[in-house]
Structure 1
Amino acid sequence: MGVGCTDGEGVERNWSMQNALSGSTKKMGPGSRRDTLDDHFGDYNWRKTISIVNHIRNKALEAAKL
């Protein structure tokens, strides 16, 4: 009891989606590369934040049925 569940695969999912960037960022300087990666990770996090609303709604509806 008192133990939470952890999704250790979450980080891997994020990186696997960003692998396509490697070709674009390969020849960039360190500053440009970091800015590009920050933009893409920021976009990924924003989309995840927005989509959580539907996830929470669906979980609430599911819980209400019980």
Structure 2
Amino acid sequence: MFSVLYSLIYMLLRLEDNALLVGAVASFVAVAVAMYLTRSIDWYGSLPDATAPNQQPAA
């Protein structure tokens, strides 16, 4: 993993003319991989349901 990251940084430093393009493509790929790996996570599963009736006992 670190060798891929270091080679990408080295390539960005060596390609002065195309560094913006390579960096933009690498950022897009990183975001796409993160979205693909987290596609099945239920981000709102731990929040209480706002439409459910209140389950607290009456005092």
Q: Under a length normalisation based on structure 1, what TM-score does the superposition of the two structures give?
A: 0.47
Displacement, 1:39?
0.6
Write out per-residue CA displacement over residues 14-39 of structure 1, whole angstroms, 9 at most, x where no aligned residue: xxx8454221111212x400110111
Counting aligned pairs with the same residue, the percent is: 2
Q: What letter matches 2:18 in structure 1? A: S
Counterparts of 2:23 and 2:38, CA distance in 1:
23
Identify, as 1 or 2, the structure richer in helix.
Answer: 1
Root mean square deviation, CA, Å: 2.6
1:45 aligns with 2:53: no
Corresponding residue number in structure 2 for 1:13:
none
More contact order relative to length (CA 8 Å, sep ≥ 6): 1
Q: Under a length normalisation based on structure 2, what TM-score does the superposition of the two structures give?
A: 0.50
Write out per-residue CA displacement over residues 24-60 of structure 1, whole angstroms, 9 at most, x where no aligned residue: 111212x400110111110010111122222228x84
